[in-house]
Amino acid sequence: MNEQSRSSSFDPNSVRKVVNVNAPQSIAWDVFTQQMGTWWPLAVYKIGNANAVDAVMEPRVGGRWYERGEDGSTCDWGRVLAWEPPSRLLLSWDIDANFQYDPALNTEIEVLFIAEGSSRTRVELQHRKLDRYGDRRDEMRTIFDKTGDWGQLLAAFAQTAAASVRAS
Protein backbone atom coordinates (compact mmCIF):
# COMPACT_ATOMS: atom_id res chain seq x y z
CA MET A 1 0.00 0.00 0.00
CA ASN A 2 1.44 3.39 -0.87
CA GLU A 3 1.44 6.37 1.46
CA GLN A 4 -1.29 8.19 -0.40
CA SER A 5 -3.91 5.46 -0.15
CA ARG A 6 -2.90 4.90 3.45
CA SER A 7 -3.38 8.50 4.47
CA SER A 8 -6.76 8.81 2.78
CA SER A 9 -8.19 5.87 4.74
CA PHE A 10 -6.14 5.96 7.92
CA ASP A 11 -8.11 5.45 11.11
CA PRO A 12 -5.99 5.17 14.27
CA ASN A 13 -8.72 3.15 15.98
CA SER A 14 -9.33 0.50 13.36
CA VAL A 15 -7.64 -1.79 10.88
CA ARG A 16 -9.25 -2.92 7.62
CA LYS A 17 -8.20 -5.90 5.55
CA VAL A 18 -9.70 -7.38 2.41
CA VAL A 19 -9.03 -10.82 1.00
CA ASN A 20 -10.51 -12.24 -2.21
CA VAL A 21 -11.17 -15.93 -1.95
CA ASN A 22 -11.83 -18.40 -4.77
CA ALA A 23 -14.63 -20.10 -2.87
CA PRO A 24 -18.41 -19.69 -2.73
CA GLN A 25 -19.79 -17.48 0.05
CA SER A 26 -21.23 -20.41 2.04
CA ILE A 27 -17.92 -22.27 2.05
CA ALA A 28 -15.98 -19.13 3.00
CA TRP A 29 -18.40 -18.61 5.90
CA ASP A 30 -18.16 -22.24 7.07
CA VAL A 31 -14.39 -22.38 6.90
CA PHE A 32 -14.04 -19.08 8.75
CA THR A 33 -16.53 -19.77 11.51
CA GLN A 34 -16.65 -23.55 11.91
CA GLN A 35 -13.24 -24.78 10.77
CA MET A 36 -11.12 -22.06 12.29
CA GLY A 37 -8.85 -24.60 13.96
CA THR A 38 -7.75 -25.87 10.54
CA TRP A 39 -6.20 -22.59 9.46
CA TRP A 40 -5.68 -20.19 12.39
CA PRO A 41 -1.89 -19.91 12.99
CA LEU A 42 -2.18 -21.64 16.38
CA ALA A 43 1.55 -22.18 16.67
CA VAL A 44 2.03 -18.44 17.07
CA TYR A 45 -1.33 -16.79 17.77
CA LYS A 46 -2.59 -18.30 20.99
CA ILE A 47 -2.53 -17.22 24.62
CA GLY A 48 -2.68 -20.36 26.76
CA ASN A 49 0.31 -22.18 28.23
CA ALA A 50 -0.61 -25.46 26.56
CA ASN A 51 0.02 -26.08 22.86
CA ALA A 52 -3.21 -25.00 21.15
CA VAL A 53 -4.89 -27.64 18.97
CA ASP A 54 -8.15 -25.92 18.00
CA ALA A 55 -9.87 -22.55 17.69
CA VAL A 56 -13.60 -22.71 18.28
CA MET A 57 -16.47 -20.30 17.71
CA GLU A 58 -19.84 -21.30 19.18
CA PRO A 59 -22.36 -20.69 16.36
CA ARG A 60 -24.78 -18.29 18.04
CA VAL A 61 -25.00 -14.77 19.42
CA GLY A 62 -23.38 -14.82 22.85
CA GLY A 63 -21.31 -17.89 21.95
CA ARG A 64 -17.76 -18.26 23.18
CA TRP A 65 -14.72 -17.87 20.94
CA TYR A 66 -11.77 -19.71 22.38
CA GLU A 67 -8.68 -21.84 21.86
CA ARG A 68 -8.41 -25.40 23.10
CA GLY A 69 -5.09 -26.73 24.33
CA GLU A 70 -3.79 -30.25 23.84
CA ASP A 71 -4.39 -30.85 27.56
CA GLY A 72 -8.10 -30.03 27.14
CA SER A 73 -7.85 -26.57 28.72
CA THR A 74 -9.59 -23.66 27.02
CA CYS A 75 -8.72 -19.95 26.88
CA ASP A 76 -11.34 -17.43 25.85
CA TRP A 77 -10.56 -14.90 23.13
CA GLY A 78 -13.93 -13.17 22.91
CA ARG A 79 -17.62 -13.56 22.17
CA VAL A 80 -19.92 -13.80 19.17
CA LEU A 81 -21.83 -10.48 19.03
CA ALA A 82 -23.66 -11.02 15.72
CA TRP A 83 -24.17 -14.28 13.81
CA GLU A 84 -25.70 -13.72 10.38
CA PRO A 85 -24.72 -16.63 8.10
CA PRO A 86 -23.46 -16.55 5.45
CA SER A 87 -22.74 -12.84 5.21
CA ARG A 88 -21.88 -11.09 8.49
CA LEU A 89 -20.05 -11.97 11.67
CA LEU A 90 -19.31 -9.67 14.59
CA LEU A 91 -16.95 -10.80 17.32
CA SER A 92 -15.50 -9.21 20.40
CA TRP A 93 -11.74 -9.56 20.76
CA ASP A 94 -10.97 -9.44 24.44
CA ILE A 95 -7.25 -10.04 24.49
CA ASP A 96 -5.34 -7.18 26.06
CA ALA A 97 -1.98 -5.70 25.11
CA ASN A 98 -0.24 -8.23 27.36
CA PHE A 99 -2.05 -11.04 25.54
CA GLN A 100 -4.23 -11.88 28.50
CA TYR A 101 -7.98 -12.38 28.34
CA ASP A 102 -9.90 -9.37 29.63
CA PRO A 103 -13.69 -9.75 29.24
CA ALA A 104 -14.09 -5.99 29.67
CA LEU A 105 -11.78 -5.07 26.76
CA ASN A 106 -14.34 -5.40 23.94
CA THR A 107 -12.51 -4.49 20.80
CA GLU A 108 -14.63 -5.58 17.83
CA ILE A 109 -13.97 -7.61 14.71
CA GLU A 110 -16.55 -7.40 11.95
CA VAL A 111 -16.23 -9.81 9.04
CA LEU A 112 -18.32 -9.39 5.89
CA PHE A 113 -18.59 -12.19 3.33
CA ILE A 114 -19.63 -10.65 0.02
CA ALA A 115 -20.49 -13.05 -2.80
CA GLU A 116 -18.91 -12.10 -6.12
CA GLY A 117 -20.60 -14.52 -8.45
CA SER A 118 -21.13 -18.13 -7.45
CA SER A 119 -17.54 -19.12 -6.84
CA ARG A 120 -15.79 -16.08 -5.43
CA THR A 121 -16.12 -14.22 -2.15
CA ARG A 122 -14.72 -10.91 -1.05
CA VAL A 123 -14.01 -11.04 2.68
CA GLU A 124 -13.72 -7.70 4.44
CA LEU A 125 -12.42 -7.64 7.98
CA GLN A 126 -12.44 -4.63 10.23
CA HIS A 127 -10.84 -4.73 13.67
CA ARG A 128 -12.10 -1.66 15.50
CA LYS A 129 -12.45 0.11 18.84
CA LEU A 130 -8.70 -0.12 19.22
CA ASP A 131 -8.92 2.97 21.42
CA ARG A 132 -9.77 0.45 24.14
CA TYR A 133 -6.07 -0.31 24.31
CA GLY A 134 -5.52 3.16 25.78
CA ASP A 135 -1.91 4.34 25.60
CA ARG A 136 -0.91 1.07 23.91
CA ARG A 137 -3.26 1.63 20.97
CA ASP A 138 -0.59 2.55 18.40
CA GLU A 139 1.60 -0.39 19.37
CA MET A 140 -1.33 -2.81 19.03
CA ARG A 141 -2.54 -1.27 15.81
CA THR A 142 0.89 -1.86 14.29
CA ILE A 143 0.81 -5.51 15.33
CA PHE A 144 -2.60 -6.00 13.73
CA ASP A 145 -2.07 -3.95 10.61
CA LYS A 146 1.57 -4.33 9.68
CA THR A 147 2.03 -5.65 6.17
CA GLY A 148 4.97 -7.91 5.65
CA ASP A 149 7.43 -6.58 3.18
CA TRP A 150 10.60 -8.59 3.01
CA GLY A 151 12.06 -6.24 0.44
CA GLN A 152 11.60 -3.30 2.77
CA LEU A 153 13.08 -5.28 5.64
CA LEU A 154 16.15 -6.21 3.62
CA ALA A 155 16.57 -2.62 2.46
CA ALA A 156 16.46 -1.44 6.08
CA PHE A 157 18.96 -4.12 7.00
CA ALA A 158 21.29 -3.13 4.19
CA GLN A 159 21.10 0.51 5.29
CA THR A 160 21.86 -0.38 8.90
CA ALA A 161 24.71 -2.63 7.87
CA ALA A 162 26.18 0.06 5.60
CA ALA A 163 25.91 2.60 8.41
CA SER A 164 27.71 0.32 10.85
CA VAL A 165 30.48 -0.30 8.32
CA ARG A 166 30.94 3.47 7.88
CA ALA A 167 30.98 3.97 11.66
CA SER A 168 33.70 1.39 12.25
> In the complex, which residues of this chain contact another protein (CB under 8 A)?
15, 17, 19-24, 27-28, 30-32, 35, 38-41, 43-47, 95, 99, 119, 121, 123, 125, 127, 142-150, 153
**Using CA atoms, how far apart are residues 73 and 75, in angstroms rounded to an integer?**
7
Residue 5 phi, psi dihedral angles, 5° rounding: -70, -30
Minimum gap (Å) between residue 121 Cβ and another protein:
8
As a residue count, the chain comes to 168
Residue number, 73 or 142, with CB nearest to another protein: 142
**Using CA atoms, how far apart are residues 121 and 15, in angstroms rounded to an integer?**
20
Minimum gap (Å) between residue 150 Cβ and another protein:
7
Minimum gap (Å) between residue 142 Cβ and another protein:
8
Residue number, 73 or 119, with CB nearest to another protein: 119
Q: Residue 143 belongs to what H/E stretch?
A: helix 137-145
**Using CA atoms, how far apart are residues 51 and 3, in angstroms rounded to an integer?**
39
Residue number, 58 or 145, with CB nearest to another protein: 145
